[in-house]
Amino acid sequence: MIRINDLSKEYKTKKGLVMGVDRVNLTIAEGEVFGIVGYSGAGKSSLLRCINLLERPTSGQIEVNGRDLTKLKREELRKARLKIGMIFQHFYLISQKTVAENIAFALKAANTPGEKMTSRVNELLEMVGLTDKKDVYPAQLSGGQKQRVGIARALANNPSLLLCDEATSALDPNTTLSILRLLKKINRELNITIVLITHEMNVVKEICDRMAVMQDGRVVEEGSVYEIFSNPKAELTKEFISSVLSFEVPQAILAKVTGSIVKVMFKGEVAGEGVISDMVQHFDVRGNFLHGSIEYIQEVPLGLFLMEIQGQPDNITRAVSYMEGRGAQVEVIQNGH
């Protein structure tokens, strides 16, 4: 369990004080994957680095597993940090050391005995799928393999919390997906709480249970990933989600539309039902799809469709009411000519 209470972080610059994190309050449950989303300068990296006190907050509290890290003495904080792993965007591996030696470096910091160190390194290599790279140097690895070493190193001391600082931003899409699946596997099998920051909504959609959206150092929206994707409130959140779920239809196509244009959303199991086909059969209307897809967020379907409905106004009204009665959210974008 992580509690962030009224947390602020100020930076002194030549132009004066800059508020990097501005009175943030968050609660992150044990065992969940929590995403923090925002553009550059939103304060998400500062917030993440405050969680393990790599950056000391100006004010506020950081509680991890019931302990306020801001009140710990130096040695107590060092021990607490051993249970907080961190994965970085640019890997930060030691180029002169082998893969095994890079992982062992974290174990040495915890004064792990030599015989335990060897077996733990081998265990971690198997966990991240790099058993055959044990004696290889970082320069001989791909970006995805380097990040797997970083993950193994972060897991070395059996942390209860894993912080991911843009962990996939330097990777191609396929490699990103494999790393996210590895992180989700680690989360499920080891019950490790994961907090990750990103500016990519596809990352959040793939792995996170809950999320917060940051702007100018503040949290502007927070909630379950599914609910935020299906019903975003803040304008910034809507902007982020449009990068994944786009309803843009060329103006030339819209100009030819003579019927009513409706946006239809189906949540959960309703997304797999034939609501639209049933609607067309029950009422004297014709449907024409302009845009549509079914996305899966945490394996739960979310159906999104933009369609033209042609017919008499009363029939269109009844058709819309029918879809709403079947569990759809319907918004009339444009009435027929």
In this structure, is residue 197 part of a structural domain? yes
CB atoms within 10 A of CB 14: 4
3-state helix, strand, coil in the chain (%, to 5): 40, 30, 30
Taking only the tens of pLDDT, the chain with its 337 residues reads 899 999 999 998 888 888 999 999 999 999 999 999 999 989 999 999 999 999 999 999 999 988 999 999 999 998 898 899 999 888 889 999 999 999 998 888 888 887 889 999 999 999 999 999 999 999 999 999 999 999 999 999 999 999 999 888 888 989 999 999 999 999 999 999 999 999 889 899 999 999 999 999 999 999 999 999 998 999 999 999 988 887 677 777 777 888 899 989 988 877 767 888 889 888 889 989 888 888 888 788 898 889 999 999 999 999 999 999 998 999 888 887 6
Residue with tokens 């990040």: 147
Full-model pTM:
0.90
Residues 6+ apart with CB under 8 A from 281: none
- Please state whether beta strands 260-267 and 329-334 pair in parallel, antiparallel, or not at all (unpaired): antiparallel
Residue with tokens 């501005």: 22
In this structure, is residue 242 part of a structural domain? no
- My answer on whether 163 and 270 are in the same domain is no
In this structure, is residue 13 part of a structural domain? yes
- My answer on whether 20 and 69 are in the same domain is yes
Q: With contact defined as beta carbons under 8 Å apart, do 245 and 67 qualify?
A: no
Q: With contact defined as beta carbons under 8 Å apart, do 214 and 44 qualify?
A: yes
- My answer on whether 154 and 291 are in the same domain is no
- My answer on whether 218 and 277 are in the same domain is no
- My answer on whether 123 and 81 are in the same domain is yes
Q: Residue 263's domain is classified under what CATH number?
A: 3.30.70.260
Q: With contact defined as beta carbons under 8 Å apart, do 144 and 170 qualify?
A: no
- My answer on whether 57 and 164 are in the same domain is yes
Alpha helices in the chain (DSSP H): 44-51, 74-81, 99-109, 114-127, 143-155, 173-190, 201-207, 225-230, 235-242, 251-255, 275-282, 313-325
- What's the rounded Cα separation, in Å, for the pair 155 and 86? 9
Distances (CA, A) of 218 to 19, 303, 333: 10, 31, 32
Name the residue range of residue 285's domain: 251-334
- My answer on whether 164 and 50 are in the same domain is yes
Alpha helices in 225-334 (DSSP H): 225-230, 235-242, 251-255, 275-282, 313-325
